[in-house]
Amino acid sequence: MKRVTIQTASKTYDVKIGVEMTNEIVSFIKKTFPQVSKLWIIADKEVFNLHGTAFSEILSESFDVTTYLAPKGEHAKSFAIYEGAITHGLSNHVDRRALVIAFGGGAIGDLAGFVASTYMRGIPFIGVPTTILAHDSAVGGKVAINHPLGKNMVGQFYQPEGVFFDLDYFTTLPGTEVLSGFSEVIKHAFLSDRSFLQELMHSFHSPEKMDKQFLTDCLMKGIRVKGDIVSKDERESNIRAFLNFGHTYGHAVESASGYGSRTHGESVMIGMIFALYLSEQYCELSFNLLEFIKWVTTLGYNLNIPSHITFETLYEGMRHDKKSQYGHPVFVLLKDIGEPLMVKVSVDDLRRADEFIRQL
Ligand SMILES: NC(=O)c1ccc[n+]([C@@H]2O[C@H](COP(=O)([O-])OP(=O)(O)OC[C@H]3O[C@@H](n4cnc5c(N)ncnc54)[C@H](O)[C@@H]3O)[C@@H](O)[C@H]2O)c1
């Protein structure tokens, strides 16, 4: 089992990565929460069907367990599902000594963390992430649900008590979700150093073939990059915003496509290429963008933006981004790999970058 310790101003906790982790989780809860009244699993229904029965049976041998099943993916992050979860907790006598367990991908982590942060003014939670992408979302304590007018618009900073990755769960991940998760690994490489990026481009050739050692190494490195940034700026007052690299245009594409119809990571990949193009224009980034695009296209990322999604629609989305200043989109660009900075970009340059993406 591998471990990365995350230190933030409000909490220090471990992220553990291994196989057959349920017994490790049982020991952790017994040691850290000896008085726990109930375990409240909040799970992605599809993931629970695949892996949840064995998980909850083992927990039930030691604890009182109740389970709330949410719809898969982004559908979980709605006001209606949030209310449904709270109703489940109250109806099942979940009290302030209970512990929430987020069991699923990033969407469930965001929902369950937000439920935990608000239920009876806050009860503790742990993450049991089941996607590669969640090496990003399960670390750092951002929890949220969506509003029809914007993604993650209702949320909190609320750190988990611990995070437990069980590599066995990744065996059922579809290729599209592997690619989605790797997009955030690649983002962490862009934010840290060229050698990490080169290693990925050298070793990652197919979402179908991946050995556990390679995957563990990628998760550890990505988590360290994120943990390092979050430890210096837990509440996104300054450098944490760099983690939004690729997200300004990416979120606009994801939202215009309709949440759930394109993976989060694939949208971020498109957003990163957009930001890399702008980085060449604004920051003289020296990088072989065409070689990178060839690599990700061969891996299977779909970079196509349908023509009914106009630049004007995406521009409106970019203006709603949380980093915008007085209605002007602000982008995380790169001076070099590992050297991000914030740049206000003109609408004409955004339009040119959008045209570049559309001709790929
Ligand atoms: N809080 C943060 O800091 C942060 C950071 C990045 C992303 N996010 C959020 O994370 C979400 C995306 O997370 P995600 O990509 O993990 O997606 P997800 O949670 O939407 O899951 C994607 C799909 O994979 C399925 N799935 C999950 N685990 C599986 C498994 N082991 N086997 C088979 N299928 C499985 C799910 O049912 C779903 O259909 C977005 O809502 C995004 O906003 C949050």
- The CATH number linked to 55 is 3.40.50.1970
Q: How far is CA 172 from CA 4, 20, 46, 51, 132, in A?
A: 25, 15, 11, 9, 12
Domain for residue 313, yes or no?
yes
Residues 299-317: b if buried by 16+ CB within 10 A, e if exposed: bebeeebeeebebeebbeb
Domain for residue 223, yes or no?
no
Q: Please state the rounded mean pLDDT for residues 148-174.
A: 93
Are residues 124 and 245 both part of a single domain?
A: no
H or E element: which one contains 78? none
Domain for residue 224, yes or no?
no
Are residues 143 and 245 both part of a single domain?
A: no
Q: Which residues are annotated as a binding site?
A: 106-110, 130-131, 142, 151, 184, 247, 264
Report the chain's mean pLDDT, rounded to a whole number.
95
In the chain, alpha helices (H): 22-32, 45-47, 53-60, 79-91, 106-118, 134-137, 175-192, 194-203, 212-232, 247-257, 264-283, 289-299, 311-319, 347-358
Are residues 198 and 132 both part of a single domain?
A: no
Q: Which residues are annotated as a binding site for NAD(+)?
A: 106-110, 130-131, 142, 151
Do the beta carbons of residue 171 and residue 208 sit within 8 Å?
Answer: no
Residue 260 has pLDDT above 80, yes or no: no
Are residues 323 and 238 both part of a single domain?
A: yes
Task: Supply the CATH number for residue 352's domain.
Answer: 1.20.1090.10
Q: Which two tokens stand for residue 268?
A: 């971020």
Domain for residue 140, yes or no?
yes
Closest by Cα among 3, 78, 7 to 233: 7
Q: Which two tokens stand for residue 17?
A: 């990565």
Are residues 121 and 184 both part of a single domain?
A: no
SS3 2: strand
The Cα 346–Cα 18 span in angstroms is 46
Domain for residue 216, yes or no?
no
Domain for residue 37, yes or no?
yes
Are residues 128 and 184 both part of a single domain?
A: no
What is 96-132 written as a DSSP string? Answer: TT-EEEEEESHHHHHHHHHHHHHGGG---EEEEE-SS
Closest by Cα among 222, 342, 333 to 271: 333
Q: Please state the rounded mean pLDDT for residues 276-294.
A: 96
Could you tell me if the CB of 98 is within 6 A of ligand 1? no
Q: Which two tokens stand for residue 52?
A: 């949840």
Instruction: Dump pLDDT digits (tens) for 1-34.
Output: 999 999 999 999 999 999 999 999 999 999 999 9
Domain for residue 41, yes or no?
yes
- Burial label for 356, CB within 10 Å (0-12, 13-18, 19+), is middle
In the prediction, which pLDDT does 190 show?
Answer: 98
Lowest mean pLDDT among 103-112, 190-199, 201-210, 216-225: 201-210
Q: Please state the rounded mean pLDDT for residues 182-210.
A: 94
Are residues 136 and 186 both part of a single domain?
A: no
Q: Which of 264, 266, 269, 272 best tests ligand 1's pocket when mutated (most atoms within 8 Å of CB)?
A: 264
Q: Please state the rounded mean pLDDT for residues 192-210.
A: 93
Domain for residue 228, yes or no?
no
What number does the ligand 1 atom closest to the CA of 172 have? 32
Are residues 120 and 194 both part of a single domain?
A: no
In the prediction, which pLDDT does 327 show?
Answer: 81
CA of 349 to the centre of ligand 1 (A): 32
Do the beta carbons of residue 105 and residue 73 sit within 8 Å?
Answer: yes
Residue that is last in its domain, among 124, 152, 172:
172
Q: Please state the rounded mean pLDDT for residues 141-148.
A: 94
Q: Domains in the chain: how many in total?
A: 2
Are residues 47 and 86 both part of a single domain?
A: yes
What number does the ligand 1 atom closest to the CA of 51 have? 31
pLDDT band at 167 (very low <50, low <70, confident <90, very high): very high
Closest residue CA from atom 37 of ligand 1: 72
pTM comes to 0.94
Are residues 70 and 33 both part of a single domain?
A: yes
Are residues 186 and 153 both part of a single domain?
A: no
Instruction: Dump pLDDT digits (tens) for 114-141.
Output: 999 999 999 999 999 999 999 999 999 9
Are residues 270 and 351 both part of a single domain?
A: yes
Domain around 342: 175-205+234-358
CA of 236 to the centre of ligand 1 (A): 22
